Structure 1
């Protein structure tokens, strides 16, 4: 497998770039670090000589590398072996399993998001859930790769997951039957009133082209009279930075899309409109972008660009707040560092790190029966141990949502279900567009 291919999907929670490893860059060591290296080597020797059982050198060296990277931030990591195989599987776009994007957080396996339409999604697993047991066996404190490998398997076989859901009093078991997961990054449909809905589930290869094709199909189905468009980026944990730029460029005909600023040479980059696609493909059509706490990284780049250029109205919940870029630095033929090398900024110069993207209109997901309990335990980038701190030094109270009750959002999940509304955020966006004229709020240019 080529390292260049890894750029497309190195981790679903990151915007990923690829940079070469140079001898000079790898070999330069601050002379003052000599005593610290001496401590490291002394520790290695003591373990080899005195530990109760013999220890392989590979285990010790890998532990040292993992420890160094874990001390930096939650997104830097060493990848080899099964990690690289997992990335290759993502690139292929299909595998047998449950359809979950997960991360290890303080020893626990946390669900970033279930892929839409996957077995996990159909069984009601949600972003923010924690998996504590697999088939009754405790996996807390274990290895993420081992947990992922156990959740994958032959289509048609079942596995029981024990779930801790913040807001619930007790853990509960869910039996999920594995299926063939064919990653479908872009889906679309035409709703009543000739309102198009394009859902982007992850930023893998060719997402920009796929969205363009979806838009062309919507126009054809609507006989050329599309009255509005919802771009749904909810629970989209990210992916390729290049595809985030391509998607943004579809709706912009000028200006900055995103800037990337790093410490090393070549890590400060500017991305402008009109470099991938010419013109605004939906010119004159009002656009609403939907985001939530599961919208991260590349999703935030798109939402921030369209919001800053006043090309779209952003609705939903405040996004995750991951404003850093990870680069894959090859280490030989079968290993690499996924290292945080830069921060990214929206066109207005806003750093997404910690604070995320704040919607123009905050719309709660009232159709979620667990909304009230889950809202107390929403996890974002700022809650991760060792996260990068926003350079502006944002205070927690500056990120708190307005506590005043909004008269528009009073109905319960049961009441909405009785009205046939299963997705309140999408429903609210569609109703807004149906009331929108070209001079109204959803088209603010």
Structure 2
């Protein structure tokens, strides 16, 4: 078998004439070529001796995927199918169930369901493990293979089996695939508060957020007390849209920086003059499903003291993936930088810590439900500048402010405690605010 034509060994006499640093580089390159030779040896051996006839393209793609999988959970090779799927997602439309998933030691784990999709309506939760699709075991499939099985022609049915911590047995869901039109921004008015729900960061998010702010201001006028920006279970998306959303609430200053391998490889992004909300109070809601672009927005507004962040600690994905086209149909999605908040915090692993930790009391199983975060993923990037391990502590401690029970909240008609808490917090700024009457729980018989 032919050897790598660029593989060579320098005589010792020649090496002695080369400066030490160059000699080290030459030795390292020689070792790299030996490893490449080993890869080609394996490739040829598989082609010739494997029990079944192999496909060269499949073998090479497998080698590429294995190389990238050894780096971190977010770097990957996009073949023509994956490249098309990614474009559909960032454009805001695709056929499927509406799930953001990852793989963990061969198992498919839910990061978050997307609002108003079959998965969200059925009740699939962050932290669930998807074990079977239509009775077929998923264990051991690549992430792309698992996603392919969930996506499909709109109108077709699919049976998903889920294992949930705390549930006595697996849960079966029969879902109907839909054209998932991701409308990333919705808004509603609660009293004198404008609530802006951002579920994803695609090409529509920035303009839609500006439109929501304008519509809320037009509807409430001078009665407007403030805004709630709901980023819970938002898996992230496009960096430029996170910058645009942050800019809508900031008048000046840095929004985010991304830093590559070298000290000189830094890009900084700044807000333009003009806060669209004219300084109105802002609360941001986050939870363990708030990731990436959502954390950029929360971190920027928190660092500038422009917003109060409440909820639960966020996911902790502080890395930047660059899409590098390899051909017209394929691309490399490669982690090329870490991003940092304006104060220089890296949210990698640590996430965004809320100013006020508020549990979702209306979720009866919130204490038991597993909380999947970046730090739980295999081969995740390490936060090299963290100063402590506070984020490893338990998410929730006893807090007298949250003494209300699901029963008393239900009597108030509260189905989303975190949002209820945020609205109450803002409405207290209204001079005409009247606190809700206390609800007395019935005595046990």
2:365 pairs, out of 364, 367, 370, with: 370
Residue 402 of structure 1 deviates from its aligned partner by: 6.7
Would you say 1:145 and 2:138 are equivalent positions? Answer: no
Take 1:46 and 1:185, find their aligned partners in 2: how far apart are those partners? 49
Change (3 A) 1:143 1:69: closer
What SS does the aligned partner of 1:231 have? Answer: strand
CA deviations on 1:280-302 (whole Å, 9 max, x unpaired) are: 11123110000000001111111
Would you say 1:128 and 2:121 are equivalent positions? Answer: no
**Further displaced range: 209-218 or 223-232:** 223-232
Take 2:383 and 2:329, find their aligned partners in 1: how far apart are those partners? 34
Counterpart of 2:378 in structure 1 is 385
Counterpart of 1:283 in structure 2 is 278
Spell out the pairing of 1:19-58 with structure 2 (5 A cutoff).
30-58=29-57
What SS does the aligned partner of 1:230 have? Answer: strand
TM-score, normalising length: structure 1: 0.86
Spell out the pairing of 1:115-264 with structure 2 (5 A cutoff).
115-192=114-191, 194-263=192-261
Take 1:331 and 1:431, find their aligned partners in 2: how far apart are those partners? 52
1:400 pairs, out of 393, 397, 403, with: 393
Counterpart of 1:349 in structure 2 is 344
TM-score, normalising length: structure 2: 0.86
Counterpart of 2:313 in structure 1 is 318
Cα contact 1:115–1:201 (8 A) shared by 2: yes
Cα contact 2:77–2:332 (8 A) shared by 1: yes
Take 1:257 and 1:93, find their aligned partners in 2: how far apart are those partners? 24
- Give the aligned length: 404
What SS does the aligned partner of 1:67 have? Answer: helix
Unaligned 5+ runs, structure 1:
1-28, 439-445
Take 2:284 and 2:313, find their aligned partners in 1: how far apart are those partners? 12
User: Greater relative contact order: 1 or 2 (C-alpha under 8 angstroms, separation 6 or more)?
Assistant: 1
Take 1:354 and 1:418, find their aligned partners in 2: how far apart are those partners? 38
CA deviations on 1:204-232 (whole Å, 9 max, x unpaired) are: 01312211100111111113431111001
Report the structure number with the largest CA radius of gyration: 2
Residue 395 of structure 1 deviates from its aligned partner by: 5.6
Counterpart of 2:111 in structure 1 is 112
Take 2:416 and 2:53, find their aligned partners in 1: how far apart are those partners? 56
What SS does the aligned partner of 2:368 have? Answer: helix
**Further displaced range: 140-149 or 197-206:** 140-149
